[in-house]
Structure 1
Amino acid sequence: MQLDLTGRRALVTGGGSGIGLAIARALAAGGADVAVHYASSKDGAETLAKEILDSGRRAVALPGDLTAASDANAVVAGTVDALDGLDILVTNAGHLVGRSTVAQMSDEHWAKVMDVNVTTAFMTTRAAIPHLARSEAGRVVMMSSMAAENGGGNGSAGYAAAKAAVIGLARGLAKELAPDGVTVNAVAPGFIGQTAFHDTFTSPEARAGIVAGIPLGREGVPDDVAGVVAFLASSLSGFVTGQVIDINGGSQFR
């Protein structure tokens, strides 16, 4: 028994950098054809698509603002056109946006955090459902966060709420799509280094303190997340649905 994605067709949102890029690369390494969506990381998405094409797989880089239904529909349609269908959807697009206490948070900030983390997942999945339902092994993997389970760091209550909503969406969709044989799961990464997220929002002092509290003694890397997503996208996880898999090096939060 081994992980084999040969012949599967995948769309990874936010795939031009960081965790999304590692996921797209891992799916291609497993044999999948991959559409790499990007909002701002054009160079990364196009470079990765070329890398996948050069390896003998089909690939395409697709831009879009997934908070808009028209763009989400177009990205899914572009994937289906380029890859002749869709079997795997990874809704990785998301962002902290910025740190703010609830008392000081503007309506605009709250709406943006919800849109970029929850609405993007909803819009893309809704557009993908008809195609996933026709697949013999439809898979959806959504990106949550340890913040959904522990409330996040200072000034990230909005982000924590959005990532908790992603878990609820995934579990609801797991029930809705089960009759079509489509599984839906979420992953909840903890502290994952080598990403712009923590380079932007986490100070070196805070970073050191977080790592000191991780039982495995190191911060995670994007490939740690990509490996779990590849498993959930494969036939090895065919009886796994409605689950949240924590990827945090043993950090405790309950």
Structure 2
Amino acid sequence: MDDAKLDDFPSLFSLKGKVAVVTGGSRGLGLSAASALLQAGASKVFISSRKANACEAAVKTLNALPNLQPGAVAVSVPSDISTISGVEKLLAEVTRQTDHVDILLANAGATWGEAFDTHPDSAFAKVMDLNVRGVFNTIRLFTPLLSRRASVEDPSRVIITASVAGLGVGTLGKNGTYGYSASKAAAIHLGRNLALELGPRGITVNSICPGFFPTKMSNGLLAISGGADVMAGDNPMRRLGRPEDIAGVVVYLCSRAGAHVNGDAIEIDGGALWNRGELLSPGKAKL
């Protein structure tokens, strides 16, 4: 009957006392995830994005949330992680305020829609620089902080925000997101390589793969695909993603409940990726 005994079940999904860094955390899925980390008990969550005003606004909102642990705080650290100097700036500011990091959510990302024949090299490069190179450099430079208190029993966590577009086919046609789809596939594969590299150091690396969530980045694609109601109707669950859908998976992966999950890519799309009745056409979009 020992199988029925669970070690301290009430704390299984708790993040009490954890220190987190969320890139791209000033809006959208990153902000939802940051809110979840704080409300699950994290003591400090660093919010980073390119725009200082956006970071400050996000931090103000997060620090006004109910249900926070005493002393818990969100901290604004604006930085552009598409460049190595931006990642170094972020690391320096975080290091100034803490000697360790328990959770790194590599969420910052960009997309670009353009027809194949006119798709500019500069746009492809911009998307790849942020979505792949920026993710790699952020994880690489933060690994010493992530390793500081990591152990087999209590590993530090890295979560990469990828997309179901990296698992299937993204948007084609006049608003093709070729760089975005390629970058997210690369990010997922990068995560699996780093899971093996960093696992022995007490760091798990997993990817989350959202489908359509009504966010600023996806609203343009939603509009050209017929709108939120049409996209929801095509989903097996008959709805689009909600902030709680991201929040739940992030808390799971960062808590003791997800301590033995490593190298995974979790789809958060209501099953849309596997909806075999849904055929992609040049005007049909998936994220």
TM-score bracket relative to the smaller structure: over 0.9
Identity between Structure 1 and Structure 2 (%) = 36
Give the TM-score normalised by structure 1. 0.92
What displacement does 1:52 show?
6.2
What is the distance in 1 between the residues matched to 2:65 and 2:140? 27
Q: 1:65 to 1:252 in 2, by over 3 A?
A: closer
Provide runs of 4+ in structure 1 moved above 4 Å. none
Q: How many residues align?
A: 252
Code of the residue aligned with 1:12 in structure 2: it is V
On the 8 A contact 2:77/2:93 being kept in 1, the answer is: yes
Picking from 120, 125, 143, the partner of 1:106 is 120
Give the TM-score normalised by structure 2. 0.82
Picking from 142, 150, 175, the partner of 1:128 is 142
1:45 corresponds to 2:58: yes
Code of the residue aligned with 2:196 in structure 1: it is K
Q: Give the match for residue 203 of structure 1.
A: 223
What are structure 2's unaligned runs of at least 5 residues?
1-8, 277-287
What are structure 1's unaligned runs of at least 5 residues?
none
What displacement does 1:236 show?
1.2
What displacement does 1:132 show?
1.0
What displacement does 1:156 show?
1.2
1:242 corresponds to 2:263: yes
Q: Give the match for residue 36 of structure 1.
A: 47
Q: Give the match for residue 73 of structure 1.
A: 88
Greater displacement, 155-164 / 117-126: 117-126
Is the partner of 1:203 in helix, strand or coil? helix
Deviations 1:82-119 (A, max 9, x none): 244201000010021x2113322111011011112112
Is the partner of 1:90 in helix, strand or coil? strand
What is the distance in 2 between the residues matched to 1:54 and 1:31? 9
Let me know the Cα RMSD of the aligned residues. Answer: 1.9
On the 8 A contact 1:183/1:242 being kept in 2, the answer is: yes
Q: 1:82 to 1:51 in 2, by over 3 A?
A: farther
What is the distance in 2 between the residues matched to 1:107 and 1:221? 33
Greater displacement, 81-90 / 14-23: 81-90
Picking from 10, 17, 37, the partner of 1:27 is 37
Code of the residue aligned with 1:58 in structure 2: it is V
Q: Give the match for residue 178 of structure 1.
A: 199
